[in-house]
A and B are shown apart, each in its own frame.
Chain A
Amino acid sequence: MSVNAMASESSDVLVEIRDLVIGIQRTRKDRLLIVESANFDIRRAEILGLVGESGSGKTMVCRSLIGTLKRRSASIFAGTIKFDGMDLAKLEERQWRSVRGSRIGYVPQSALTGANPVMTVGKQLGEAIRRNRKRKEKDVRRRVMELLELVHIRRPEVVYDQYPHQLSGGMRQRVMIAAAITQDPDIVVADEPTTGLDVTVQAEIMKLLKEIRSELKMSVILVSHDLALIDEVCDRLVVMHAGTCVEVGSVSAVARTPLHPYTIALNRSRIDISTPGAPLITIKGNPPAVGEWPAGCRFSDRCDFVQQDCTVGRNPVLVEVRPNHWSACLHAERLGGTSE
């Protein structure tokens, strides 16, 4: 890779998350850490995948990006989230109001709880549009229609006057995406947006997210526990395990040469549609529970490649093993050739 390409890439960085520590302050002295080391960039107009098992801290990282950690009584203890000259990690609730929604949009996990059940789709979207500046009623309606068409809702004039419960799950999620992009944000955070939806609907939603990226030039963060899904729609991915980012890189690089044993194990445990019947290689044991992380590398007691130095000292940090491909494995270099 040329030096020029590197330079242009780094100027594309929209958000820089460094050494982020998130947890719950239970008493004055007792902190339960949920995310201990989140490190990654979000680049302009990319779809960034965030994969991990439940309890890996991926949802908490998302919440830190839209400033809703407090609602889960969690908070950021250390680290920075640099975004457009601001540090989101230190933002006050008052300041969040000008960021959340207008600069960073959010698509909730369940479209059913995300929408207000007693307001029509048109009213809800209109409210989101009017939030920051005053607009004429006619303009608002036009913009809502525009948005509904943008997310490919057929017959928007009908949907405009419908209530969320009258829509199918897929339609509802489209409305939620429309709501997330009303203010032309730079980033859309989508936390498992297709959980509980059918595969065909999921495929449509993914197509929509891709369009948002390529046509509206927004960055999308897609959270999922489904590696296959991430592989298909994302440009780069971040793999999280036990509150740590263990691997960051482009989807193709991670698929070809995964540099962390956890990613390798995840890849092996997934069903390969092209060769059915091949035994699935499972990951030993269970993911460590929050607050019960082992010393050293948190994957060490489930890892097939574990060495003596893996189980002592600190949790290893991400290292750029190859250009633009980071791994938190102490022995990442040696893993280089062991993919697929």
Chain B
Amino acid sequence: MTITGAGTADWFDVKGTVPTPKNAKRLKDGTIGLITGLFLLVALLVLGIVVPLLSPFEVEISIDTPFLPPSGTYWFGTDGLGRDVFLRVFSAVYLDLGVALIGVLIPFCLGTIVGIGLAVSRSKTLNAVAGSIIDGINAFPLLVLAIALIALLGPGLQSVVVALSVTNWARYARLARTRALVVKQQGYIEATQTLGYSKPRTLFKHLVPNVSSETTAYALSDLILVILLIAGLSFLGLGAQPPTPEWGAMISDGRPNFQVAWWPVIFPGLALCWAGVSLSFIAEGLTRRERDVKS
């Protein structure tokens, strides 16, 4: 056996130990995605404030001839009622994102609390009853259940939020419960018992953070879904009512005349994509970071 060491020589002389270039690491740990996502989101939010403030036009009132194509005056053209599409698209930012945020936050909080509570509780009856309610709700597709509820409550954004809260919490509860049951078995939770930590300390410092990290990750991807859902419900006429500027409703308004004028449909659609893409960048970035914490 002869050993030359030749193979190793050229590696070793050049590199010593291999440095990790910052950008490669960042791409891997999600920092770049996170920054891109945040930049896109902030840009959208800023436009949502600035455009309505600076625009010379009115959101809900006709200002010119209908279906004017995009031009120097009307950047995104005008819609069927002669309103400025540019202004309307960006006026809808806070409504669309805000309703979605509330529509996610309520079920997120409710579900996480219920899920952890069930995992911690020793009552078998409670777990059986709540478990079957959760499974029952989850058995239906979210959209179908939401439409049914809105049909009961009457159309409108408030109904959408209520419907989302009533249906979506079950998904979070199931996730939180499963996760909490796993975390509960971990040595660090058992150790809190032998160390004599108080129940609240164990719960809030050790159990909840390790459960909510999971539900938070889900909430972020859920937010994208809910934005689309709200737009979808509004498109069906169940959500935002005219003349409120809302992307789904705007697309619905413009749809019959799409052959003549594409701009009242395409621009709200693009805004919807913008919101979705920026959030998915953020979600992906955060998930990667979380993976880093765990592995």
Chain A residues within 8 Å of B, Cβ to Cβ: 10, 16, 18-21, 23, 26-27, 29-33, 36-37, 39-41, 77-79, 291-295, 314-315, 317-320, 326
Contact = CB atoms under 8 A, between A and B. Distances in A.
Interface of B: 1, 3-13, 15-21, 23-24, 28
B7 A326 contact: no
Contacts of A10: 1
Nearest to B11: A21
A165 B81 CA distance: 68
B21 A29 contact: yes
A41 B1 contact: yes
B29 to A, nearest CB: 12
A231 B121 CA distance: 52
Contact of A30 (B10, B16, B20): B20
B18 to A, nearest CB: 6
A18 B8 CA distance: 10
Nearest to A313: B12
15 contacts: A10-B1, A18-B3, A19-B5, A20-B7, A26-B24, A26-B28, A30-B18, A30-B21, A31-B18, A36-B8, A36-B11, A36-B12, A37-B5, A293-B17, A315-B12
B115 to A, nearest CB: 29
B8 A21 contact: yes
Contacts of B11: 21, 33, 36, 77-78
Contact of B17 (A29, A292, A319): A292
A292 B24 CA distance: 17
A22 to B, nearest CB: 11
A251 B3 CA distance: 21
Given A36-B12, A78-B11, A19 B20 contact: no
A19 B18 contact: no
Most central of B9, B18, B28 by chain A CB within 10 Å: B18
Nearest to B19: A30
A291 B1 contact: no
Given A30-B24, A32-B20, A36-B12, A19 B6 contact: yes
